[in-house]
């Protein structure tokens, strides 16, 4: 019998497949169905830093100070008081889901700056969250703010949350650091028990007729996996925390590539939204069959087998690949 178990955030999961934050994980009924389909853990939708500041009226005060200079500031923000049922409702969802299922229920905090709002992590722990995923999401547009300030701020957020709770902390980051490998190590040293690679930045569109900025959400596509497997393969064995991939995971082959690159967990959202929760069951059956057909005994046996430290030519993950791709394409055109 093939062993699909994996270690993530200190938990022994029955397989590497995790349902990441999405409208599907807002419902406890859906979470129960996910467990039945074989999914090994779920991440609840994020609570935003702005929601928690709003609850303490800090955000209202900040916005009112600038309202004369930028009158759209208040009206552009969504109604955060009811999103995710609000902070109190969020704790109830954690509690309810944790009681209904036997798989880890991971809470999610979305923000970018150190501050009092981070104390809410303790409330999440007390409500029954098995772990917390910190979703560090910000678009730095201040030309006066240096990169080292941004990085230090991120590490401070992780340190503050780690000090306030006893449960494991995963950190979901973007790939847009000038030294991604160094930043990964710094986040690990700050207390991250896992890194989730990578956050998807949703780029706004605009209407040239109405001159309005339009929020636009696109579900992930399989080609997005390349960036994630690339960095997972580079970081595997170089940071003192586990690695998870999110974004671009749709089919069994995607799960295999993620694990071979070095991921302990593989997160999925878009494929479940498009194909339904039972899609996970099919993927896990195909994964089990593939491993058996290729004469592996366990998932652990193949984890990291295609990482930079394991392949014959490590330079393939660096500039060598860039040069080889370009030269091979020019040869094809002759």
pLDDT in tens, the chain (334 residues): 899 999 999 999 999 999 999 899 999 999 999 999 999 999 999 888 777 766 655 445 544 544 444 444 444 555 555 555 678 889 999 999 999 999 999 999 988 778 877 888 999 999 999 999 999 877 777 889 898 998 999 999 999 999 999 999 999 999 989 899 999 999 999 999 999 999 877 667 777 888 888 777 777 788 899 999 999 999 999 999 999 999 999 999 999 999 999 999 999 999 999 999 999 999 999 999 999 999 999 999 999 999 998 877 777 666 665 555 556 665 555 5
Tell me if residue 164 falls in helix, strand or coil.
helix
- Give the pLDDT score at 41: 98
- In our burial notation (b when 16+ CB lie closer than 10 A, e otherwise), range 108-122 reads bbbbbebeebbebbe
Report the pLDDT value the prediction gives residue 10, as an integer from 0 to 100. Answer: 95
Which pLDDT score is estimated for 110?
A: 86
Is residue 135 within 8 Å of 109, Cβ to Cβ?
A: yes
282: enclosing H helix or E strand: helix 279-293
pLDDT of residue 240: 94
Please report, for the chain, the start and end positions of each structural domain, with discontinuous segments joined by +.
Answer: 6-303, 310-334
pLDDT value of residue 292: 94
Cα–Cα nearest to 259, from 208, 296, 223:
296
Query: What pTM was computed for the model?
Result: 0.85
Q: Which fold has domain 6-303?
A: TIM Barrel (3.20.20)
- 320: closest CA among 310, 332, 308? 308
DSSP for 182-203 reads: HHHHHHHHHT-SEEEE-PPP--
Residue 267 pairs with which residues in a beta bridge? Answer: 18, 246
Residue pair 39/19 in contact (Cβ under 8 Å)? The answer is yes
- Show Cβ contacts of residue 268 under 8 Å, excluding neighbours closer than 6 positions: 17, 18, 19, 20, 246, 249, 250, 280
The predicted pLDDT at position 324 comes to 59
């Amino acid at each position: 019998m093939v062993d699909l178990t994996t270690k993530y955030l200190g938990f022994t999961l029955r397989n590497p497949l995790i349902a990441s934050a999405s409208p599907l994980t807002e419902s406890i009924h859906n979470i129960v169905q996910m467990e039945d389909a074989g999914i090994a853990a779920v991440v609840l939708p994020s609570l935003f830093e702005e929601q928690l500041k709003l609850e303490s009226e800090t955000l209202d005060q900040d916005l009112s100070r600038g309202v004369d200079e930028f009158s759209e500031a208040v009206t552009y923000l969504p109604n955060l008081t009811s999103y995710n049922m609000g902070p109190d409702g969020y704790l109830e969802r954690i509690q309810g889901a944790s009681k209904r299922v036997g798989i880890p229920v991971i809470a999610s905090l979305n923000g970018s700056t150190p501050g009092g709002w981070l104390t809410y992590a303790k409330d999440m722990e007390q409500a029954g969250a098995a772990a917390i995923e910190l979703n560090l999401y910000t678009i730095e547009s201040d030309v006066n703010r240096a990169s080292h300030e941004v990085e230090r701020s991120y590490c401070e957020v992780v340190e503050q949350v780690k000090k306030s709770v006893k449960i494991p902390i995963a950190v979901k980051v973007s790939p847009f650091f000038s030294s991604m490998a160094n930043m990964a190590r710094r986040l690990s040293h700050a207390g991250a028990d896992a890194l989730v690679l990578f956050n998807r930045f949703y780029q706004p569109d605009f209407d040239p007729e109405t001159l309005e900025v339009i929020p636009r959400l696109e579900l992930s596509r399989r080609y997005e996996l390349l960036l994630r497997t690339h960095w997972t393969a580079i970081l595997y064995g170089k940071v003192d925390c586990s690695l998870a991939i999110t974004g671009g995971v749709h089919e069994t082959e995607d799960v295999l590539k993620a694990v071979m690159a070095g991921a302990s967990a593989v997160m999925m959202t878009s494929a479940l939204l498009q194909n339904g929760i039972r899609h996970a069951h099919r993927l896990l059956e195909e994964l089990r069959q593939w491993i058996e057909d290729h004469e592996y005994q366990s998932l652990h046996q193949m984890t990291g087998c295609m990482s930079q430290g394991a392949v014959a030519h490590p330079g393939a993950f660096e500039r060598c690949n860039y040069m080889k791709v370009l030269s091979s394409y020019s040869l094809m055109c002759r």
